[in-house]
Structure 1
């Protein structure tokens, strides 16, 4: 019975990993499309380039999620370092990419609203940057609480 559950877990993990990988590759394709379109039109060059950068960050985040799912649930991770340390590393990489994407989005919104003289809407990018800051603080707390204490030698 236990072997069956392990087999189902591996199949399900592989399926989700492949789905997230497909989303990641699709986002890379969209980034290329937005970049090429921006180069051809000239009127929205900065917006198109920024949009392609956003797409690449989303692609990177979904790629990290795909790799993390595959390693953690398929049993392909580093068994010698333990589950907690593997999860700690995966969460750190994924959340770091999300934080970078949020900060970039906040900066893009600040530039966009400044160019369009919509200073009244600046609380949206400020909220995005504050959210990224809270996420960064949460990541720091997570890393602090899951750090390995040095072994004490009682000899």
Structure 2
């Protein structure tokens, strides 16, 4: 019989759920792309859909990886700050890349469709991403360093 704590069991279940969702997003994205190619949709629109789906899938995959790595092992418990210093930069980095790419894609899309009046939406996304990244930097600067990195 498996000797898993409730924490490890839920971590494995949530990881499996998010890995499955990530795979489902990729499959759905590919089905939509092949359907769009068959229907003669503009190549640029297909590529934008492909990038959007890939970014979302990557963010969900990264979340599953973080949950599995940090909560799914029976290793010794870490302090909350240590765990946050290890997981937040990785996850927020992925989210920042996803948001900035989404903002840039929206800028390109709105520019091509002559919707310059709507450019404040992608600009707001890009500015929010910059604030999120800056907040992560402040968090990392103000928290004590990880014990493992101090020893090396």
Q: What TM-score, normalized by structure 1, do the two folds share?
A: 0.79
Partner of 2:145: 148
Higher Cα Rg, which structure: 1
CA separation in 1, counterparts of 2:108 and 2:115?
A: 10
- Across the aligned residues of Structure 1 and Structure 2, the Cα RMSD in angstroms comes to 2.6
In structure 2, the gaps of 5 or more residues are none
Structure 1 residue aligned with 2:54, among 44, 53, 56?
56
Matches within 5 A, 1:114-153: 114-146=111-143, 148=145
State how far apart, in whole Å, the 1-side matches of 2:74 and 2:5 are.
14
Residue 89 of structure 1 is matched in structure 2 by 86
Distance 1:35 1:76 in 2: 41
Q: Of the two structures, which has the highest relative contact order with CA contacts closer than 8 Å and spacing of 6 or more?
A: 2
Which structure 1 segments of 5+ residues have no match? Answer: none
Q: How does 1:19-98 map to 2 (within 5 A)?
A: 19-75=17-73, 82-83=78-79, 84-98=81-95
Equivalent residue number for residue 16 of structure 1: 14
Q: Deviations over 1:108-152 (max 9, x none)?
A: 11112112211111111111111111111112112222352897x
For normalisation by structure 2, the TM-score amounts to: 0.81
Offset, 1:76: 5.3
Q: Distance in 2 between matches of 1:52 and 1:76?
A: 38
Cα distance between partner residues in 2 of 1:37 and 1:46: 15
